[in-house]
Structure 1
Amino acid sequence: MSTQADTLKTVLITGTSTGIGLATAVAAAQAGFRAVATMRDTGKADRLLAAATEAGVADRVVVKRLDVTDAASVKECVAEVVAAYGALDAVVNNAGAGQVGTIENDGVDAVRSAMEVNFFGVVEVTHAALPHLRAAQGRLITVTSVGGVVGQPFNEAYCAAKFAVEGFMESLAPVAATVGVTVTVVEPGAVASEFVASAAPDIPALLAAAGPYRPAMQAYVDRTTTSFSAAQTATDAATPIIEALTAEKPVFRVQTSDWARGFVGTKLTDLDGSGVQGLTTTWVR
């Protein structure tokens, strides 16, 4: 005799200890999915489990360890999920790390580090999951950023990685569609979460190390602090992700707010680049 658990579709979500990932795991469970909520350190699962319990869906949230920068960890987690539940119906690539700085000061290793987490981590999970998504005729959803469309001052490494993710997924989407896998990218703008603090945990130190870029960095910090004071919640940002999971025909690219749609729209209609440069120049002056 089958049980309700046997009929649940399974979605694997990366980076679920805080922010959008946490909100997505809870919302996916509320939408009727088994949410395999992964994180590098499962000792940080308390907040997620508390939120799932409060929402009444703790029985649909399964916490597993997955480090997107460790190929063995990724393969092991995906294999365990398929072995336990028989299928993998969807993946939400959400894990990422911000980085604020500029190349002259930070050096090439900092860029490589940002690419490893934000780009190659996505590629690693996608590679491991695709055979199972193909078998399930499933969905591959990746949280990028408005910074994956519009380059932003002092976010060179982060935006480079997110641009790479957007190009990768835009190229993969028509190929994956031929084998029944739907690909979607979700582009948040400013979101109130611990991601912001992790990107620049010590602003005084950041300014002190800026050298000749300090005036521009100060202007950027002032502007960014203001913009994040009106950031959307992680729960609101998760809503389009759940829509992409459940829609009959999800679109390829979706933004999480009206502000994000307007911001991304600036780039997508800016054939000579003057619109974006005119906008972002004001951030550092």
Structure 2
Amino acid sequence: MGRLKKILIPSLGLVLAFWFYSARDTFKPEMLRGKRVIVTGASTGIGEQMAYHLARMGSHVLLTARTEARLQNVVRRCLELGAASARFVSGTMEDTAFAQHVVREAQAVLGGLDMLILNHVGASYFGFFDGDVEHVRKLLEINFLSYVAMTTSALPMLKESEGSIVVVSSMAGKVGFPFTVPYSATKFALDGFFSSLRQEFAIQSINVSITLCILGFIDTERAVRAAAEVLAERPAPRDECALEILKGAALRRRELYYRYSSTRLPLLLRDCAAELLDYLVRSRYRLPATPGAPRPQH
């Protein structure tokens, strides 16, 4: 009975919280009209879809990713959709100097910044950890240190505008998932850094919001290519995911879970039934007795 209470009471609290926050969901597209926004990882996937949503809402967007040709197409489409302005800067986030350069470009061409959306991610693999420490280091530089560098550089502008930081993370940054060891490590680092930074903002009365986005399996090209064959669930649509991220950012929410049922609800088990959660995580995979060679991952 005691164990049952440990599960039921948090569940009831979560249902009430979900009802409360849903009732307060008063997002309107006008909230983002005219806003000056950086979107990283904007050439494909969720980042590309966020750029299009922002364009429809009349935002000024500065987009960045590695591939210039793709960025040119995304910028062109943003202008067709009604963006107040759309520009791009291409380069790799392996170098934190480039991350800082993007922020300086925003200062030069936008005159300030209202929202920093950190969405880029380095290429990893989907398979058993292969012991490659150098790969972990490189992935930390792209998935974590560049986020820190951009945030640090953008903070003066965000303080002035009382703006927002949006960090696109994953369930793999809240729960240990198999076959994503390097990727998961970087996402856990994001949670620790930005959750601690939010606390310091509160202590210093800095009115800059931080929204940490906890995503499940989304139908981006990379994620589907890496995991669709082994994950026993259907991926959620990236355009809907992108819109939910922007709604959460505009409403200055602390954390956003998408999709809610497959991300937030399982986290109730972490403290009261951790082994059950581990089992449920493993049960999501359709695997042979010995998984094959690692495959590229998002």
TM bucket (normalised to shorter chain) is: 0.7 to 0.9
Equivalent residue, structure 1, for 2:278: 277
Deviation digits for residues 37-85 of structure 1 (CA, Å, limit 9, x no counterpart):
111232222442354255x225532222243221221222211211222
* Letter of the structure 2 residue corresponding to residue 114 of structure 1: L
Matched residues in 1 for 2:125 and 2:197: separation? 26
Partner SS for 2:104: helix
Equivalenced residue count is 250
Residue ranges of structure 1 left out of the alignment (5+ in a row): 1-6, 201-219
CA–CA distance in structure 2, aligned partners of residues 221 and 239 of structure 1: 23
Evaluate the alpha carbon distance shift between residue 165 and residue 268 of structure 1 in structure 2; reply closer, same or farther with a 3 A threshold: farther
Note if 1:76 corresponds to 2:78: no
Q: 1:42 to 1:173 in 2, by over 3 A?
A: same
Aligned counterparts of 2:105 and 2:208: Cα–Cα separation in 1: 21
Corresponding residue of 1:257: 259
Aligned to 1:9: 35
CA distance, structure 1, for counterparts of residue 36 and residue 238 of structure 2: 22
- 2:195 is equivalent to residue 170 of structure 1: yes
Contact 1:12–1:37, Cα closer than 8 Å, also in 2: yes
What corresponds to 2:206 in structure 1? Answer: 179
- After TM superposition, where is structure 1 displaced by more than 3 Å over at least 4 residues in a row? none
Q: Indicate the structure with greater helix content.
A: 1
Q: Tell whether 2:62 aligns with 1:36.
A: yes
TM (norm. structure 2) is: 0.76
Q: In structure 1, what residue type is equivalent to 2:267? A: K
Counterpart amino acid of 1:253?
A: E
In the TM superposition, 1:88-103 aligns within 5 A as 88-97=113-122, 98-103=124-129
Shift of 1:273: 1.9
- Residue in structure 1 matched with residue 266 of structure 2 by the alignment: 266
**CA distance change for structure 1 residues 221 and 48 in 2, over 3 Å: closer, same or farther?**
closer
* Percentage of matched positions with identical amino acids: 26
The answer (yes or no) to whether the contact 1:12–1:90 under 8 Å persists in 2 is yes
Question: Do the aligned partners of residues 169 and 268 (structure 1) sit closer, same or farther apart at CA in structure 2, a change above 3 Å counting?
Answer: farther
Secondary structure of the 2:108 match is helix
Corresponding position: 1:188 with 2:195: no
Output one character per residue of 1:124-149: Cα deviation in whole Å (capped at 9) or x when no partner: 21111112111211100010011111
- Contact kept, 8 Å, 1:189 with 1:259, in 2: the verdict is no
Task: Give the drift of 1:275.
Answer: 2.5
- 2:236 aligns with one of 215, 232, 235: 232
Question: How far does residue 29 in structure 1 lie from its aligned partner after superposition?
Answer: 2.0
Q: Quick one: distance in 2 between partners of 1:253 and 1:59?
A: 28
1:85 to 110, 113, 134: 110
Please list, as runs of the form range in 1=range in 2, the aligned pairs for 1:151-170 lying within 5 A after superposition: 151-170=176-195
Flag structure 2 segments of 5+ consecutive residues without an equivalent.
1-32, 290-298
Partner residue in 2 for 1:57: 82
TM-score, normalised by the number of residues in structure 1: 0.79
Give the counterpart letter for 2:220 in structure 1. S
Tell me the secondary structure at the aligned position of residue 13 of structure 1.
Answer: strand
Question: Do residues 242 (structure 1) and 254 (structure 2) align?
Answer: no
Q: 1:256 to 1:9 in 2, by over 3 A?
A: same
